[in-house]
Structure 1
């Protein structure tokens, strides 16, 4: 595992993150509203909000959103993008120390960041800031590793060139461990298909938004990009590749 602290890993990747990271399917939020009684007037704490991709989804659905993000560069990018919306604010905070008042939000969301959190102290903090009996929703885009020549070639590329790819990948929770984290408060799980259609510049930016992709100057950087270009050449159709995901969401209540 890299020694770089998790809150700092993306500071030099913000531009690529803003432009090339995937959003989340609106069908997922429709499911949360339809199946779990969430309504647009619910106040949301979007924890580990990064550059605001998940916050934008929630704002578009009518929610008031407080983005909690410890990385200053990512938080500033979120404010630059979403700060004109009166229902949005961003605060400097962590998953286990949000700085939000007790029982001040109706929904806590975490998108793509839970694997960086300490599960015990995070659970305690989420239970503290949630109104009693209301919900936390953990969701993430899970990149498909097999199924097409591109997906399998991209995974092999990361295995060969990623600086700490294996150790980061091992941090991701599976559905069973997340259900265990909620315990008796678990309320539901769902999956949704999602994808990005990327030209080569988009694919390169998507790769370089990952914390384990070696940056310019690293001995693996140029070989990695050469391999990426060849993979794109072999797999592209009409100048694009399909970068495929399963978006997974787990919802439940939390108690102190």
Structure 2
């Protein structure tokens, strides 16, 4: 049976090409609100192909990119092969393999919903320095967009798993409980991508719940083409996101 670590093994190329990065404003806001600078050590947990590591790496932070999936981790290693401040780590949220009290910030994007929260909380306490920070981030599709509502309907109609894997089901109570007894901070930013038809299909293929082939896959691709034709302008459609950033600062 496929486990959570293996879900993206056959989706790496689509993930690299079609998944959104994060708003350029995100790092600036985190630096302001959490008083960060590039002397801080970042642990990017569930780092995947390195999209979430990018803003930190490019601004000279030292990043330990912790990823359990071999294919995703190797893709990130290839992308960041020329960056000495990017350290690839074969580990998971429950067992990062990092040193005790070794990082200033634990950052995790699009991954928290896969974690064993009890074991992960214990592990995060172990690796985080006193006075450190935890930051959890999601790019959530903007529900005010008719295009995205139709895109969502295609997924709901044909993918049974989508209703409970969908990132729009962010459980803020679970996040608050995970951060407890610390106070939860929140930032929301606008973000977007532009896709041609193949890009829109690739964006759907990059998701863990999308079938890789077969009748359902072909039906989804056909209906996405109909959605694209309904909303395209000059051969492109706009994918809008709300980037939701949850954080806490450890006071103990």
For Structure 1 versus Structure 2, the TM-score category normalised by the shorter chain is: over 0.9
**1:215 equivalent in alignment to 2:212:** yes
Q: CA deviation at 1:61?
A: 2.2
Q: CA deviation at 1:168?
A: 1.1
Please name the residue that 1:46 is paired with. 44
Mean Cα deviation higher: 146-155 or 21-30: 146-155
Please name the residue that 1:129 is paired with. 127
- 1:196-253 Cα offsets, whole Å, 9 max, x none, are 111111111100000111112x220111111010110011112111111110111113
Alignment of structure 1 residues 174-193 onto 2, 5 Å: 174-193=171-190
| 48 and 17 in structure 1: CA distance in 2 versus 1, 3 angstrom threshold | same
Structure 1 gap segments, 5+ residues each? none
Q: CA RMSD in A?
A: 1.6
Please name the residue that 1:58 is paired with. 56
Q: CA deviation at 1:129?
A: 0.3
Please name the residue that 2:35 is paired with. 37
Q: Tell me how far apart the structure 2 counterparts of residues 170 and 241 of structure 1 sit (CA, whole Å).
A: 21
Q: Which runs of 4+ in 1 moved over 4 A?
A: none
Pairs aligned (count) = 252
Q: CA deviation at 1:139?
A: 0.6
Structure 2 gap segments, 5+ residues each? none
Asked whether the equivalents of residues 138 and 167 of structure 2 are also in contact (C-alpha less than 8 Å), the reply is no
Q: Tell me how far apart the structure 1 counterparts of residues 169 and 44 of structure 2 sit (CA, whole Å).
A: 19
Q: CA deviation at 1:35?
A: 1.2
Q: CA deviation at 1:55?
A: 0.8
Equivalent of residue 108 in structure 1, options 74, 94, 106: 106
Please name the residue that 1:228 is paired with. 224
